[in-house]
Amino acid sequence: MIPELTPGTPVRIARRTPAGHVRVPGYAMGARGIVLSGYGPAEDPETLAYGVRGEPRRVYRVRVSMAELWPGDGTGENDALEIEIYDHWLAPLEGPHDAP
């Protein structure tokens, strides 16, 4: 597990293209967001889908601006998606240039 994230932590959702079962929608991969809350640890459904009991992972609710997901389509900065994501898909961002 990555170090525990706290509410308000800016994060980036990983951009990966693994074969098989993943729990992150493609349109959210690579997006920046803010951690709202954390849950867990919970079993990882990406490994459970193949009958393997993997390492427990924390789950975070992350808020992502719609403008971050679909830039240039006229969505407002206050419009957002809240998504629950397992910790191995998240990387804390450092510095103001990375902030969502």
pLDDT per position as a tens digit, 47-97: 887 888 878 889 999 999 998 988 876 666 678 999 999 999 999 998 654
Check residue 90 and give its pLDDT. Answer: 95
DSSP SS3 for 96 = helix
In the chain, the domains with their CATH numbers are: 10-98 (2.30.30.50)
Instruction: Kindly report the three-state secondary structure assignment for every residue of 36-88.
Output: EEEEEEECCHHHHCCCCCCCCEEEEEEEEEHHHHCCCCCCCCCCEEEEEEEHH
Check residue 74 and give its pLDDT. Answer: 65
* Opening angle at CA 16, ends 82 and 42, nearest 5: 55
Measured in residues, the chain has a length of 100
Report pLDDT digits (tens) over 9-59.
999 999 988 766 788 898 999 999 999 999 988 888 878 878 888 788 899
As a dihedral over the C-alpha atoms of residue 28, residue 30, residue 21, residue 60, rounded to 10 degrees, the angle is: -70
- pTM equals 0.83
Check residue 48 and give its pLDDT. Answer: 83
Q: Strand 90-92 vs strand 57-65: parallel, antiparallel, or unpaired?
A: unpaired
